[in-house]
A and B are shown apart, each in its own frame.
Chain A
Amino acid sequence: MATARVLGASIKRREDPRFITGKGNYTDDLKLPGLTYAVFVRSPHAHARIRKIDTAAAKAHPGVVAIFTGKDMAGVNSLPCGWLLPELKIPPHMPLATDAARYLGDPVAVVIAETQSAARDAADLVDVDWEALPSVTRTEKAVAPGAARMHEVAPDNVAFKWQIGDAAATDAAFKSAPVVVKKRIVNQRLVANAIEPRACTARYEEATGDWTLWVTSQNPHVHRLLMTAFVLGIPEHKVRVIAPDVGGGFGSKIFLYNEETVCTWATRQVKRPIRWTADRRESFQTDAHGRDHITDAEMALSKEGKILGLRVKTIANLGAYLSTFAPAVPTYLYGTLLNGVYEMGAIHCEVTGVFTNTTPVDAYRGAGRPEACYVLERMIDASAAALKIDPVELRRKNFIPKFDDGYQTKVALLYDSGDYGPSFDKLLQMLDYKKFRADQAAARAQGKLVGVGFSTYIEACSIAPSKVVGSLGAQAGLWESGKVRVHPTGKVTVFTGSHSHGQGHETTFAQLVADSLGIPMDDVEIVHGDTGSVPFGMGTYGSRSASVGGTAILMSLNKVKEKGKKIAAHLLEASPNDMEYVDGKFTVKGSPQKAVPFGQVALVAYVPHNYPEGLEPGLEETSFYDPANFCFPFGAHACVVEVDPDTGQVKILRYLAVDDVGNVINPMIVDGMVHGGITQGVGQALWEGAVYDEQSGQLVTGTMMDYALPKADMLPLYETGRTETPTPVNPLGVKGAGETGTIAATPAVVNAVVDALSGLGVDHIEAMPLTAERVWQTIRAAKSRT
């Protein structure tokens, strides 16, 4: 019997029943016999030499099982950096620092005890003799003369200098340009703040020599590979890494961290399982942070508003050490996106990556692409203001015309397909732009500050082609695996290397399988997050699950069908070439009455009594998919705000988004991801920001009391729409939806606030977040100028 088409339908999530009843299975929920608890001793200083660590009193504390410092971990190597740039300075990053601590929270010892409270009490008794050293936390101060130095390999605190584009062509474009707009653009430091804190439980079984590590990971195989091959030197095949239900990641759970490495090492020493769970303060101090750029941007334009050139100089703060993929984020995930959706005369971008005494910075939702989009979309609006051209018109004037088979940008990327006008038109229609401008004028006449901001963005996602990323410095391949196991009863288990930490893979991948095989979704199980059962996997980040992971599954489904055709053809005494697969049945083309249902073929594959000569029994296929290119979602967002002229308070009146993420497997899930993405982008624009005290190097925004996360009553209901331009890159035509909102939202909101203040002569606000105080100061400064 044919099932209704499930691909493209808003099907309720199959993972939800366990989450809404409290039966989720997160890392900290796991109970093991003999479990011990780890608490890390961390640096209270931004930068300090370790003179001595005295653990005697702590060791004597009741319930303490063991205490280790870095000196105990002989033979253990530095945490690796997985992305190399030319002449990159790579300082050692030991799991427990031995010589000096280089940021607040840098771990120097671990206490393992019978209970969490005993471990915590004993950790307080570890006596570290610190010699506080001068620190530098501010991005712009890292390379200033006299700035504190923290690594021998980088005496000037510079990790790399990188550039992309054509410097000579860009200089030439600026030389002859009638209009040049210059702005300093600060993209502040953010903290991912997945609501589930990072956690791990490590267990070593002496009898077999096997390790099991349960860890909050977006990519368990990557965790295993980096930890075994580079740091601990233990056999990869003897370690099983399980990432069970994971409570959000947003990038912060991609990376190999100190804590799971130390626990995996220590469990063998204490011969008991060890659990560590971060408290929120540790999350703030040690989860890789995001963004933190200072950029000087210049845009050259003709009088009519054609973009002739873009020149970008960025300092990117990398924190105290190189996190796993840190060098890629402010370079290849940033500079390559500066072409946006516009035709540009020339582009040149140079980036200096610097070390500071701060938490390491790495990918956070969007990772480089939001920073690029923010620079570009802010410059477009600033240029529109300088030219006195409507920002809508300036965008339209510069859009790349529709293309179906590739557009070569000025910064290396080859876009897949694009048609940027329709999504923008649809957005303007939803907004009723003409009416908005009339209403805005009326509101202004009454002294109200109302504004609209736009963002016409593009992103590169489905982070993949191994050859390409390899040539750019990645030390990993970026393909994905998908294994389809058909059971003798015709039920199907799929093993995917992608990992869901909120994305809903158990539903969307089941939709894909059910659609392809014409079987009920209830007959399909999706397994992910376990190196013990999944062949290999690169995991989930860079909006790659559906496009790369989904395609790998599709390839295996096609192999299953090809093999099934041979079996069915044998049963029907037909030629395999004459077979087709329709609605869950193998049939002979043109003779639909000659058919063998999927379940029967599955059974015959495992009970091969009447079976094609030479064909292997069984029905299980594995595929590894390495795409030919990235995918390029695009779209247009608009935000309408009202600014209180007396307090500077910004209120979002409307938020509209039209995204083109290619074909959509489950619209409900895609909309949900867009909502969440927008919210993180809005959060950056208006409220969020990690702040270090310049003098002491302390993280001032170290709890959820000090770091302002978006709450329900700060946000409107979102108005979302879609255009669907399938990507030619993969057979599903899907791109990626996880990061579009975060990329697009920040400039849309900031542009809206600037538009609201434009009547006061404001054309730019240098730094975010646009708190009431910052906006109030901007209003005051503008009024004092007039």
Chain B
Amino acid sequence: MKKTVTMTINGVSYTHEVEPRVLLVHYIRELAGLTGTHVGCDTSQCGACAVHVNGQAVKSCTLLAVQADGAQVLTIEGLAKNGQLHPIQEGFWEKHGLQCGFCTPGMIMSAYQMLQRNPSPSEAQIRHDLEGNLCRCTGYHNIVKAIQYAAEKMAGT
């Protein structure tokens, strides 16, 4: 039995008929066609699928699309405004916080929530708050630097 789901993703309204078992991440990728949100595991470890639902960072592989009915969703594609990169995106670029780029959207979306909660985290806090995101390329060194860069930049503006 399919259900009708309507949600706003990055300010655009989407409506689709979906099987109740469809995960939010698959809704975003396959139905809304926003492929910046990635799937890296089946068990909610890797965080490549992190998006914001009603202002909260969630792993979109742990939520059903029907649970996000009526929600405001923000994905990596919606973070830059008017062609202007968000300071976190800028930080990842400036500090070489990515290599293959696959975990990057999830990292950035997690960092976005992290800095909302704590605008000036210590290195240890950044590392702790990245607990839900895996990167196999960078060893996290430059991801930490990228988030520090963003925190400083956001504090200054």
Chain A residues near B (Cβ < 8 Å): 12-13, 15-24, 26, 28-29, 31, 116-117, 192-197, 245-248, 250, 277, 279-281, 501-504, 668-669, 671-673, 675-680, 703-705, 709-713, 715, 717-718
Contacts and interface: CB of A to CB of B under 8 A. Distances in A.
Contacts of A19: 98, 101, 104-105
A250 B89 CA distance: 25
21 contacts: A16-B101, A17-B93, A20-B85, A23-B36, A28-B35, A31-B33, A194-B102, A195-B134, A246-B100, A247-B40, A248-B137, A502-B100, A504-B99, A672-B138, A679-B140, A703-B42, A704-B45, A704-B46, A705-B45, A712-B127, A713-B124
A717 B141 CA distance: 6
A195 B136 contact: yes
Interface string B125-139: 011101101111111
Interface stretch (B52-60, B63-71, B72-80): B72-80
A13 B140 contact: no
Contacts of B142: 672, 675
B139 A501 contact: no
B36 A21 contact: yes
Contacts of B131: 711-713
B124 A281 contact: no
Interface string B26-46: 100100011111111111011
Nearest to B99: A502
A12 B94 contact: yes
Contacts of A705: 43, 45
Contacts of B126: 712
A703 B41 CA distance: 8
B141 A22 contact: no
A192 B136 CA distance: 9
B5 interface: no
Contacts of A193: 136
Contacts of A23: 36, 77
A718 B141 CA distance: 7
A503 B137 CA distance: 9
Main secondary structure of the interface of B (DSSP, over half): loop
A117 B19 contact: yes
B93 A711 contact: no
B33 A22 contact: no
Interface of B: 19, 21-22, 26, 29, 33-43, 45-46, 48, 75-77, 79-80, 85, 89, 92-94, 96, 98-105, 108, 123-124, 126-128, 130-131, 133-144
A20 B92 contact: yes
Given A197-B39, A675-B142, A705-B45, 13 more contacts: A16-B98, A20-B108, A22-B75, A26-B35, A26-B38, A28-B39, A280-B41, A672-B137, A676-B137, A676-B139, A704-B134, A712-B140, A715-B127
A195 B42 contact: no
Contact of B141 (A197, A247, A675): A675
B36 A195 contact: no
A301 to B, nearest CB: 35
Given A22-B76, A26-B38, A713 B46 contact: no
A676 B89 CA distance: 20
B101 A713 contact: no
A22 B34 contact: yes
Contacts of A26: 35, 38, 102
A195 B77 contact: no
A75 B108 CA distance: 48
Given A21-B89, A710-B139, A502 B43 contact: no
B45, B128, B140: most-surrounded residue (chain A CB, <10 A) = B140
Nearest to A30: B35
Nearest to A669: B96
Contacts of A28: 35, 39
A528 to B, nearest CB: 14
Nearest to A24: B101
A116 B22 CA distance: 11
A713 B128 contact: yes
A117 B37 CA distance: 19
Contacts of B40: 195-197, 247, 280
B100 A248 contact: yes
Contacts of B135: 195, 712
Contacts of A671: 96
A412 to B, nearest CB: 32
Contacts of A192: 136
Given A280-B43, A675-B138, A196 B99 contact: no
Contacts of B80: 21
A77 to B, nearest CB: 32
Contacts of A279: 42
A248 B136 contact: yes
Contacts of B123: 717
A194 B100 contact: yes
B137 to A, nearest CB: 5
